[in-house]
Structure 1
Amino acid sequence: MAFHHVRFPLDIALGARGGPERRTDVVTLAGGGEQRNGREQRNGRWAQSRRRYNAGYGVKSRADMQAVLAFFEERRGRLHGFLWRDGIDYSSGGKAPTPIDQAIGTGDGTRTGFQLTKTYGAAFDPYVRMIAKPVTGSVLVAVDGVEVTTGWSVDVTTGIVGFAEAPEEGAEVTAGFLFDVPVRFDTDRLDIEWSNFDAAEAPSIPLVEILP
């Protein structure tokens, strides 16, 4: 298997449905007296959320279905991963990134590599998500609130920002960016129904996020 650094057709992706999934075990207590009956114990089995999408909702025409068919065949079904644009969640802080959107680390005088991340929530229990597929040319970086335009680069296959010289100890490193989600097809079969000459119905084209 391999990862193909190519994006699923954007106009189809923006009409799709999907979002994050988590796995939680919920046990309803039945013993221990009346005070415990009906209470729950919950255990989160996944440390990271995993996104799932259905691209079938974005298929509006025969041309769309032909584009999906070609993309599916080139990926060999579930074999190879690819890039997916989440129409709701694709930016570090808003539609237009700024270099102070997300804190990605603190300098210690020797560290030169910083992983792009996006934080969801505030002080109560924030979730930090690794961003491995930033969009080429979209990444902005700042050190202690001052934008840095030279002396660093980003690997768009891993999301790691590398500095030529390590930021000073205690310096806050921040970044802004657009990003895609690494996914694969979650089926080896396309079940296509031709409804008329210029339209097709694709009940389900499931995709699942490839976690780092």
Structure 2
Amino acid sequence: MAFHEVRFPDNISRGARGGPERRTQVVELASGGEERNASWANSRRRYDVAFGIRRADDLAAVVAFFEARNGRLYGFRFKDWADWKSCLPSGTPSPTDQAIGTGDGVTTDFQLVKAYASGGQTWTRTITKPVAGTVRVAVDGVEQFSGWSVDTTTGIVSFTTAPATGAAITAGFAFDTPVRFDTDTLDVTLDIERLGSITAIPLLEIRR
């Protein structure tokens, strides 16, 4: 996958609009009832970052970022300010935030994930772009300060020695969302004061 490990400017992403989307087929029956089927097993996020542009310098930064990514060609990191860490928005990531696996005495690699739970239902999201220096790991509730590493390009935590059978592996972290531009054209408008604006700058989450 063509991807640049660089983050879209935070000061512009802070004003973005967007969030998760799902694809559901709804068939209306002759009786007036309906049948619903999920076309996607996982959600995908869309954003529009045009709302974060507040001055001409912001516009210049976005144009430069767009050109450096060759439009839709290269993916990049994006901080979703509504959902960017393993805990609640008001909290600080701790090593017991998210369950990422159970030891079996053999497995050494564990994928970072984030669980979204409500009303007895849970959906688990794979986290592939943790932020360097933010990942914390615990085994059976005890934080591990050594004996493991994390690949910030894949979100895989690797232990030097496989955790014991039955050991609960947990982690806390901040993360970015892998996205790409969903357009090959930036439609820039310049007004008489030589300020600029762009009607829309769509971003689309990249799923594996």
TM-score normalised per structure 1: 0.95
Q: After superposition, where does 1:11-90 map in structure 2 within 5 Å?
A: 11-30=11-30, 37-90=31-84
| Stretch moving more, 164-173 or 93-102 | 93-102
CA contact (8 A) 1:60 1:200 kept: no
What SS class does the counterpart of residue 121 from structure 2 fall into? Answer: coil
RMSD: 1.1
> Counterparts of 2:54 and 2:145 in 1: how far apart (Å)?
42
- Displacement of 1:97 in angstroms is 0.3
Structure 1 match to 2:108: 112
Question: Gapped runs of 5+ residues in structure 2?
Answer: none
Taking a change above 3 Å as real, the CA distance of residues 29 and 185 of structure 1, as seen in their structure-2 partners, is: same
**CA deviations over 1:36-89 (Å, ceiling 9, x no partner):** x11110000000100000010111111000000000000000000000000100
| Of 66-75 and 192-201, the range deviating more from structure 2 | 192-201
CA distance in 2, matches of 1:151, 1:123: 37
Residue from 118, 125, 150 that aligns with 1:129: 125
Counterpart in 2 of 1:33?
A: none
Query: Equivalent residues in 2 for 1:145-184 (5 A)?
Result: 145-184=141-180
Write the distance in 1 (CA, Å) between the matches of 2:197 and 2:157.
42
For 2:191 and 2:149, locate their aligned partners in 1 and report how far apart those are by CA, in whole Å: 49
* Change in CA separation of 1:123 and 1:170 when aligned onto 2, cut-off 3 Å: farther
Change in 2 beyond 3 A, CA 1:161/1:192? same
Q: Which residue matches 1:190?
A: 186
**2:8 is equivalent to residue 8 of structure 1:** yes
* Change in CA separation of 1:196 and 1:164 when aligned onto 2, cut-off 3 Å: farther
Residue type at the aligned position of 1:64: D
Q: Please give the residue correspondences for 1:85-104 in structure 2 after superposition, counting only pairs within 5 Å.
A: 85-94=79-88, 95-104=91-100
Q: Label 1:145 to 1:198 Cα distance change in 2 as closer, same or farther (>3 A).
A: farther
Q: Deviation at 1:184?
A: 0.3
Q: d(CA) in 1 for partners of 2:128 and 2:192?
A: 41
* Deviation for aligned residue 1:122: 4.5
| Distance change in 2, residues 1:196/1:10 (3 Å) | farther
Deviations along 1:137-170, whole A, 9 cap, x unmatched? 0000000001001000000000000000000000
In the alignment of these two chains, the number of paired residues is 206
Q: Shift in Å at residue 123 of structure 1?
A: 6.6
Cα offset, 1:125, TM superposition: 1.9
CA distance in 1, matches of 2:195, 2:207: 34
- Displacement, 1:194? 1.3
The 4+ residue runs of structure 1 with deviation greater than 6 A are none
In structure 2, distance between residues paired with 1:128 and 1:174: 14
Q: Give the TM-score normalised by the residue count of structure 2.
A: 0.96
Tell me: CA distance 1:196–1:29, structure 2 relative to 1, closer, same or farther (3 Å). Answer: same
- For the pair shown, the structure with the greater C-alpha radius of gyration is 1
